[in-house]
Amino acid sequence: MNSRFLPLLATVAIFILAYAVCYAQFPAMLSTRVIGNLFTDNAFLGIIAVGMTFVIISGGIDLSVGSVIAFSGVFISVMLRDTGLHPIPVFAVLLLITTLFGAAMGATIHFLEMPAFIVTLAGMFLARGMAYVLSIDSVPITHDFYSAIQSFYWLMPGKGRLTFIGGLMLVVFIAGMLVAHRTRFGTNVYALGGGTHTAQLMGVPVARTTIAIYALSGFLAGLSGIVFSIYTSAGYSLATVGVELDAIAAVVIGGTLLTGGSGFIAGTLIGVLIMGLIQIYIIFDGTLSSWWTKIVVGMLLFAFIVLQKGLVWFTGRNRASAAGTS
């Protein structure tokens, strides 16, 4: 068995276990209705988590995504309110802005040799600040196009609703998997995570790849902003504070190594679903404080980091005994 898949298997096992526990207590949780809600409620988180997975696999981090979602919501609502444009061109402009914003951060990280942590922290403040500049108040969105999208869904067997944004998240995950595993760009991302210097000597276009990774994360943050505005019908500069940390948590619970070089997009999807499941459990229970979500997520994170350390240690020893030379 390839040890690379172990964290992914652990994630799947935890998800099945968690679902079994939920089902044992609340049999109603095993319905497509709950699953539909799981997708809809976590669509915006899932989309940025895909971008975050790429960033973390490459050995970086992107702290700006939460702020970019807030900026996107405010940008869309203000544009719709003040210009009377149709949402589609507004979306296009927004995605262009956030993609360029990500690309600029990637370029700074690569060319100025600055830690991703610092650069994207600056990006986080910048994006949040821009949102405030556009509007301090929550701006409601009322547009026929929005109502149309919101009422659009696919009825799953069992009366569950797969909404537009839930479906979009799934599409993003599938596209992400294809890019990660079936394109040269995807392999280059893993290569960067394995070691920038070695990757460079092997002929990986390090500059181009780094910029593209953060541009992708920026694009997906913009897309997530659109999804979030559809989900809430408003733009608010104080929204989605700390969501970047939720995304990082989902990625790590999904089995991606925080140090880079190893991980799976599919794992991230399950990571997002595990986090959503905990929330639903708390809602079903009704007596627990929602802070329990944070506590359980914290414990899971800790467990995963220990698991990964253990794996690294274990495979290291295994290698020494299986393939040791002379």
Partner 1 sequence: MSEVANSRPLLRATGVTKIFPGTVALDHVDFTLQPAEVHALLGENGAGKSTLIKCLTGAYRRDDGDILLNGEPVDPRGTLDAQSYGIGTVYQEVNLLPNLSVAENLFLGHQPTRFGMISGREMTRRARETLSQYGLDIDPARSLGDFSVAVQQVIAIARAVNLSGKVLILDEPTASLDSGEVKMLFDIIRSLRDRGIGIIFISHFLDQVFEISDRVTVLRNGRLIGTEDAANIDRVQLVNMMLGRELEHETRETGKTDLAPGAPWLEFDDFGKKGRIAPFDLKIRPGEVVGMAGLLGSGRTETAETLFGAVTHDSGTARSRGEEIELRSPRDAVAAGFGFCPEDRKIDGIIADLSVRENIILALQARIGWARPVPRRRQAEMAEDFIRRLDIRTSDAEKPVGLLSGGNQQKVLLARWLATNPKFLILDEPTRGIDVGAHAEIIHLIEELCAEGMSLLVISSELDELVAYSHRVIVVRDRHHVAELVGADITTDNMVDAIASAHNGSAT
Q: What single string gives the DSSP state of each residue in 50-87?
A: HHHHHHHHTT-----HHHHHHHHHHHHHHHHHHH---H
- Taken in order 95, 101, 104, 105, the sign of the CA dihedral is negative
235: Cβ–Cβ under 8 A, 6 or more apart, which residues? 70, 72, 73, 74, 75, 76, 77, 78, 135, 138, 139, 141, 229
E strand intervals along the chain:
139-140, 153-155, 161-163, 234-235
Least Å from the CB of residue 163 to partner 1: 29
Cα separation, 67 vs 74, whole angstroms:
11
By beta-carbon proximity to partner 1, the closer residue of 4 and 161 is 4
By the rule CB under 8 A, 256 interacts with partner 1: no
Tell which one of 73, 166, 176, 193 touches partner 1 (CB under 8 A).
193
- Binding segment toward partner 1, per CB under 8 A, in 11-19, 89-97, 180-188, 234-242: 180-188
Q: Which residues from 80-139 bind partner 1, rule CB under 8 A?
A: none
Number of residues that bind partner 1 (CB under 8 A): 35
- Binding segment toward partner 1, per CB under 8 A, in 15-23, 69-77, 179-187, 242-250: 179-187
- Binding segment toward partner 1, per CB under 8 A, in 11-19, 125-133, 163-171, 317-325: 317-325
Least Å from the CB of residue 184 to partner 1: 6
By the rule CB under 8 A, 182 interacts with partner 1: yes
By the rule CB under 8 A, 171 interacts with partner 1: no
By the rule CB under 8 A, 322 interacts with partner 1: yes
Pull the structure tokens for residue 188: 């280059």
Residue type, position 235, single letter? G
- Binding segment toward partner 1, per CB under 8 A, in 145-153, 191-199, 225-233, 283-291: 191-199
By the rule CB under 8 A, 3 interacts with partner 1: yes
Cα separation, 62 vs 93, whole angstroms:
22
The closest of 197, 218, 279, 291 to 47, measured between CA atoms, is 218
Least Å from the CB of residue 314 to partner 1: 12
Tell which one of 85, 202, 238, 295 touches partner 1 (CB under 8 A).
202
By beta-carbon proximity to partner 1, the closer residue of 73 and 263 is 263
By the rule CB under 8 A, 164 interacts with partner 1: no
Which residues contribute to the site for partner 1 (CB under 8 A)?
2-4, 178, 181-184, 186-188, 190-191, 193-195, 198-205, 261-262, 315, 319-326
